[in-house]
Amino acid sequence: MKNRIVRAIAGSFILISLLMAIYVNLNWLWFTAFVGANLLQSAFTKWCLMEDILSKFGIKD
């Protein structure tokens, strides 16, 4: 369950930041890169900040 939520949040952040880059300011692409870098590091380290945040809200695996 938590895995699906993390993926949904990450995908939403990426799509929203791409839209913001197109319609507001290209600097929103830095946010897109930040989300992508976090996804990449979590693949190697098996640690994800969003999972920790969701755990604090009481969402279980």
pTM over 0.95: no
Alpha carbon distance 47, 41 (integer Å) = 8
The answer to whether 59 touches 3, Cβ cutoff 8 Å, is no
Alpha carbon distance 42, 12 (integer Å) = 17
Domain boundaries, the chain: 2-56
Name the residue among 23, 46, 19, 25 with its Cα closest to residue 11. 19
Amino acid type, 40: L
pLDDT in tens, the chain (61 residues): 889 999 999 999 999 999 999 999 999 999 999 999 999 999 999 999 999 999 999 998 8
